[in-house]
Structure 1
Amino acid sequence: MDTSRLPLTRDLVLVGGGHTHALVLRKWGMKPLPGARLTVINPGPTAPYSGMLPGFVAGHYQRDELDIDLVRLARFAGARVVLGAAEHIDTAARLVHVPGRPPIAYDAASIDIGITSAMPDLPGFADHGIPAKPLGRFAARWAAFRDGDGPAHVAVIGGGVAGVELILAMAYALKSCGRLAQATLIDSDQALRAIGEKARQTLRRALVEQGVRLEENAAIERIEDGYITLQDGREILSDFTTGAAGARPYGWLADSGLDLNDGFIRVGETLQTSDPQVFATGDCAHMEFAPRPKAGVYAVRQAPVLYHNLRALMTGDPLRSYKPQKDYLKLISMGSREALGERFGTTLSSPLMWTWKDRIDQAFMEKFRDLPAMDAPDLPAEHTLDMEQALGDKPMCGGCGAKVGRDALLGTLAGISSTDRDDITPLPGDDAALLTTGNVKQVISTDHLRSFTNDPVLMTRIAAVHALGDIWAMGAEPQAATANLILPRMSPALQARTLAEIMDAASAVMQNAGAAIIGGHTSLGDELTIGFTVTGLCRRPAITLAGALPGDALILTKPLGSGVLMAAEMAGEAKGDWVAAALEQMSQPQGTAARILQDAHAMTDVTGFGLLGHLLGICEASRTGAELSAGKIPLMQGAAELADRGIRSTLFPSNQAALPELTTTGWQDLLFDPQTAGGLLAAVSPGQADELLVKLTAAGYPAALIGRITEISGKITLSA
């Protein structure tokens, strides 16, 4: 049985992308639970692996080697990704609050948000220090500092193992590039007091060898810009000050209603909190039944138990207990490619230990770099002819990549007889219709999108911006909208949750654009599809495809590449930060851009037909040609690389067939790439182009002057 067609009945929400949750997502992708809708909430598209941080700081690893790509991992798991930092969990209402979107409901939830090493009580640290956790922000700041110029002074606050690893790595990296002026490790007590004597002596010797100044029993008065003041009046130079002085829980957990221990969430043997519907794992959890220090090894070994228990909670099966080991092998980086290993009091340090640590770390990361390919279901033994050709060799794209090709659509529309109504103004190929209601000119358009992201809120925002594109392109003011929704089969409770999220997001976009949602229609189907019918009022003459003049400048307000990026994301080939950036650009409304371009001679929004297809529409309606400067056309992050690798949207061949005389290869094929919620393409007076670009840029649009209108009707050429 095809389990993907079974109704959804339970919401499982993973708050945070820590190591345990990452492993749960991987296991879930290999064996999903039918009926469960899985969501992961994380501040960004990646989750850094802390075990490799010292190696990155020392320069042994590149930045991207630390990152678990949560967007790609979630696609593998069939989960939706919500990019935002959770700020509250309401256990009574079973809601997780994330800024900028409606609350996310859950039937079962798990929290794996890690810890912070921020020092809010230390004067000056918030302004002049950078906590080592969360890791992502620290890694970015360190990379910029390490690659700078001139003598460098660095300091780490906290003389535990983490602090020693950091200062050794920082000193090694700066010595390697000849920049180290001073490296200082500061502790209010004795450094390395939590490990054995032999390991402590070895690491102290390493500090001396790397030229690290050790300040013990030193209380800090204040962090200043460029130096640290101690309570005894001494000053320590530091251009880069970080803190690794113990684990601190995130403050919002205090209002969760869950039982805490010094701010950490108390969990029992099943990893359940005081609320049995909520689990916690990793560094943010306190194992009341068997207290242990904060260490990644426990998070990793909690994953199989958490995976089982999350499923068991939703199926009614018995839960399992997690039994942590009493001790574990501690592998501590020593700056250079050397590490110290300690377990049960036995200590050994050597390059071999670093090789061992590197092998363990790489094996962990390889679990997420090399996700197993899941086989497509076999065709029935008996099927109609040409079934394989109709299916194609890849999944059908979502968004505009799933639409009907230009030739098929225009050919069909050409066969429809024109109306003889005097309140409808015929237009030369525009997507919206121009009506006369009383003495008012009104435009109306409708559009819908097949889902390409599992997040209904994000999908709604993009679909609303996409539908409004036709209104904005004609210079009209959005007036009213109706929603047309197809939800995947789900229980009444999930229907209500999903509809609430969709309508909240839709109302926000439409109201911001000046329109009101006045109703809509819903039905159930195989997959999420979101569309809107939108009207707009024309207080000035409508801007149509006709009207472009030879010599006009062509302005594009958004970069190209969404079709290729979404196709690559479906295939697990796109980086998560590329996808996140593309989704953000697709969500950007074009209302302000339309007002800036209100004097355009011709304008359209770039959507399913691609840039060249929509430019051809202007040229045909205006009886002109065009010349594009290919090198000036803005592209989305990662789009050119993916296009050069041969990745294409399913609509690409149809778009390319519209202009067979144009030969493109590699990244230039993006000119035919179908765009979802793409930018406006405007033909403007050449004397106004520069001023308009300045205004668009100031308004936050990555706009560019990409070419000009020429005289030869229908002829489009490319130049460098």
Structure 2
Amino acid sequence: MQTEPLPLVQDIVLIGGGHAHALVLRMWAMDPIPGLRLTLIDPNPIAPYTGMLPGHIAGHYRRDEIMIDLVRLARFAGARLILDRATGIDTATRRIHLANRPPLRFDIASVDIGIGSGLPGLPGFTDHAAAAKPLGDYAQRWEAFLTTAPSSPALTLIGAGIGGVELALASAHRLRMTGRTPRITLLERADSALPNIGPRARATLLNRLAAEGIALRTATTATAIGPDHVILSDGTRLASDFTLSIAGTQPQGWLTETGLSLHDGFLAVGPTLQTSDPAIFAAGDCAHLSHAPRPKAGVYAVRAAPILLHNLRALATGQPLRPFHPQRDYLKLVSLGGKEAVADKFGLRSGGRALWWLKDRIDRAFMAKFDTYPQMPRPLPDPAPLGLIEAMGPKPLCGGCGAKVGPGALAATLATLPKPSRSDVIAGAGDDAAILRHGQGAQVITTDHLRASCADARLMARITAIHAMGDIWAMGAAPQAALVQITLPRLSPALQSDMLAEIMEEAASLFTAEGAAIIGGHSSIGAELTIGFTLTGLTDQPITKGGARPGDALLLTKPLGSGTLMAADMALARLPKDLLGPHVAAAWAAMSRPQGKAARLLAPHAHAMTDITGFGLAGHLLEMMEASATAATIDLAALPLLPGAEALAAQGIASTIAPANHAATAARLTAPDTARTALLFDPQTAGPLLAALPPDQAKATLAALHAIGEPATIIGHVTEGPPHLTAR
């Protein structure tokens, strides 16, 4: 008996990628509940692990070693990832407000957004200082500072708690390792530093500060910050090349407007981690444990994660919730700059290199949870029909253009179609869009459908609309009208309405911006989300793939590599000494960039134009060469590539359709066997425009594109000869 996928009926939305939520996502992946949709909202594709930040500042850990890749984690958990910042919660309408897109509905929500340590009310702070939290921004600023720091840099750190002392020692160590002589000052408004640690550990840390030459000024505050100085409350002007605040725990301001109960600005939660609204939970530093107040420390977020997961699941399924009982104290392992640490618990102290080894082991064990994920089994019948395993291939089917039928099979089928017999059909299949006679000009028509490559329906609608308009733009036409075809997965009526609204709103905004209108369409229910658009466009003179002339410059408007990055995303791939998430986010941003403005600059000069989509640059460029009876030479080094694409291609990662693309072009291609060559066969969803321009117009057009922010590149030239592509 064939089983159907269960409909999604509730939305559980995690606001923030903090430690508790990261663990919830990982545990959810191991035992999901069908019918519940999990969503993660965070403005960044990665989230730093607090425990390893001082080690990163000191130079002991690379950036990728201290970051949780939220893109990979969300994919592993089967969660929808929305890269945006939450700005509010409307408890009455069950909507989460976002900075850059319309509100998002939820049934159950959880907040784990961390805290800030900035001092926005301090004059000059926003322009001239950094905050230790959010951690990601601080780590990035620190790395930038290291590249420009003078030989004897002055640093001022505001806040002499454990975090401030640890970061002062880490900064001193890193600067000394780069051959610099640091001058570091720690400021503390209280009469003494390190109030939340035992006396023996406190003495060790103060002695280490003195040994490192780090000045400690207590009963002192900063009153203003300049680009190279800090003004103190006693009037002292302190030189400062890098100013950092670790001065406190600042809740995010928008929490005050939610109507939820707060404690000093933090979300007040009870034993079950529920806020004053039972459908909204909170964990981590943004939460105040009303039943058991504790200091802000990552250990409590980690310990709360299993209870939070249980209670989210329990509330969604009508089961009893459990209380969270945090431990009374915890082992504090404070690094001393170099690979040494001091430990404190219940006032007891010990220290040395062995404790650094222990801290390093604990931290690496935590991060290992988000490094390599267990491979989920692919269900197969037993016995399996002959040929089934080969047909399935070694990896999951890609989405977007990676799921297209290969060029060989498609060309064979199209060759059997009869030629158009109507006089008003000027050209049928073969170009980017069919051309119909329309008054004194022409109407072009095309259709495109994409299997979803991510769980964010609004993002997929945007990418698909841009992808479909690519054929219209490539013909030098202006989009006119659109028909929408949508296959939704099985959803409850409320979720179905939400998803339809997301898709239609996003598509309508893009088409309207290009002067086109949605005039109808069709919807259905299926196994997975698929979005398609049939579009018409108008032009006085269509630009076809034919017409390229020897000597023409070949101009590409966007970087390549999106197919490889989407394949890596679906395969949960890893990069050596790098993070996948930011590269996937960059690919989403590239695919989300409309090409209308670029097309309008190219059209008046292009001899031929096409858009690079499912058959890759090699396939679509050879189509242009065949239509123009010319050849082409491209410079592989000049190819613009999305970050991470070449490294992934070197690992052998490729989209589902890439082998078929290679097979269709191999006989007419001369190129070295390199990772860059492999990306010539990479399918591009919402890919770049490729134009053949006369040489006297190419540079001026390129400059005009750069002037409007388009990352266009000249990649080669059209040459004489039979259709052939040479890549060097």
Which amino acid counterpart does residue 603 of structure 1 have in structure 2?
A: M
1:58-207 equivalences in 2 (<5 Å): 58-150=58-150, 151-189=152-190, 190-207=192-209
Which amino acid counterpart does residue 682 of structure 2 have in structure 1?
A: D
CA distance in 2, matches of 1:373, 1:208: 51
- The match for 1:588 among 593, 596, 600 is 593
Q: Deviations over 1:143-192 (max 9, x none)?
A: 11123242210010011111111111111211222323410000111211
CA distance in 1, matches of 2:679, 2:488: 31
Query: Are 1:277 and 2:279 counterparts?
Result: yes
CA distance in 1, matches of 2:490, 2:672: 42
CA distance in 2, matches of 1:174, 1:181: 6
Would the aligned equivalents of 1:15 and 1:42 in 2 still touch at CA under 8 Å?
A: yes
1:369-388 equivalences in 2 (<5 Å): 369-377=371-379, 379-388=380-389
Deviation, structure 1 residue 432: 0.7
Structure 1 counterpart of 2:414: 413
Q: Deviations over 1:392-438 (max 9, x none)?
A: 11111111110011121122112111122121112572131111234
SS at match of 1:614: helix
Deviation, structure 1 residue 469: 0.2
CA distance in 2, matches of 1:541, 1:82: 41
Which amino acid counterpart does residue 65 of structure 2 have in structure 1?
A: E
- Indicate the percent of aligned positions where both proteins have the same amino acid: 56
SS at match of 1:369: coil
Q: Deviations over 1:307-361 (max 9, x none)?
A: 1110111111111110001111111111111111011111112111111111110
CA distance in 2, matches of 1:440, 1:706: 32
Would the aligned equivalents of 1:445 and 1:533 in 2 still touch at CA under 8 Å?
A: yes
CA distance in 1, matches of 2:505, 2:277: 29
1:177-256 equivalences in 2 (<5 Å): 177-189=178-190, 190-256=192-258
Query: Are 1:695 and 2:701 counterparts?
Result: no
CA distance in 2, matches of 1:427, 1:5: 39
CA distance in 2, matches of 1:108, 1:390: 40
CA distance in 2, matches of 1:199, 1:439: 86
Which amino acid counterpart does residue 435 of structure 1 have in structure 2?
A: L
Structure 2 counterpart of 1:612: 618
SS at match of 2:643: coil
Deviation, structure 1 residue 381: 2.1
Deviation, structure 1 residue 368: 0.4
Structure 2 counterpart of 1:368: 370
Would the aligned equivalents of 2:156 and 2:240 in 1 still touch at CA under 8 Å?
A: yes
Which amino acid counterpart does residue 639 of structure 1 have in structure 2?
A: A
SS at match of 1:293: coil
Would the aligned equivalents of 1:619 and 1:626 in 2 still touch at CA under 8 Å?
A: yes
- Runs of 4+ in structure 1 off by over 6 angstroms are 1-4
Deviation, structure 1 residue 508: 1.5
SS at match of 1:292: coil
CA distance in 1, matches of 2:282, 2:200: 35
Per mean C-alpha deviation after superposition, the further-off stretch among 115-124 and 192-201 is 192-201
Which amino acid counterpart does residue 214 of structure 2 have in structure 1?
A: V
1:600-679 equivalences in 2 (<5 Å): 600-661=606-667, 662=669, 664-667=672-675, 668-679=677-688
Q: TM-score, normalised by structure 1?
A: 0.98
CA distance in 2, matches of 1:715, 1:63: 44
Would the aligned equivalents of 2:274 and 2:282 in 1 still touch at CA under 8 Å?
A: yes
SS at match of 2:114: coil
Structure 2 counterpart of 1:512: 513
Q: Deviations over 1:28-58 (max 9, x none)?
A: 1111111011110011100100111111111
Structure 2 counterpart of 1:450: 451
CA distance in 2, matches of 1:463, 1:515: 15
CA distance in 1, matches of 2:691, 2:277: 56
CA distance in 2, matches of 1:64, 1:282: 22
Deviation, structure 1 residue 371: 1.3
Per mean C-alpha deviation after superposition, the further-off stretch among 121-130 and 520-529 is 121-130
Would the aligned equivalents of 2:441 and 2:541 in 1 still touch at CA under 8 Å?
A: no
Q: Check 1:565–1:2 CA distance in 2 against 1; reply closer, same or farther (3 A cut).
A: farther
Would the aligned equivalents of 1:428 and 1:545 in 2 still touch at CA under 8 Å?
A: no
CA distance in 2, matches of 1:708, 1:202: 68
Would the aligned equivalents of 2:545 and 2:609 in 1 still touch at CA under 8 Å?
A: yes
CA distance in 2, matches of 1:19, 1:4: 35
Deviation, structure 1 residue 440: 4.2
Q: Check 1:4–1:244 CA distance in 2 against 1; reply closer, same or farther (3 A cut).
A: farther
Would the aligned equivalents of 1:555 and 1:706 in 2 still touch at CA under 8 Å?
A: yes
CA distance in 1, matches of 2:652, 2:177: 40
Q: Which runs of 5+ in 1 are unaligned?
A: none
Q: Check 1:58–1:383 CA distance in 2 against 1; reply closer, same or farther (3 A cut).
A: closer
Structure 2 counterpart of 1:501: 502
SS at match of 1:660: helix
CA distance in 2, matches of 1:393, 1:94: 42
Structure 2 counterpart of 1:398: 399
Would the aligned equivalents of 1:397 and 1:567 in 2 still touch at CA under 8 Å?
A: yes
Q: Which runs of 5+ in 2 are unaligned?
A: 575-579
1:543-562 equivalences in 2 (<5 Å): 543-562=543-562
How many residues end up aligned between the 2 structures?
A: 717
Which amino acid counterpart does residue 412 of structure 2 have in structure 1?
A: G
Would the aligned equivalents of 2:171 and 2:337 in 1 still touch at CA under 8 Å?
A: yes
CA distance in 1, matches of 2:552, 2:447: 29
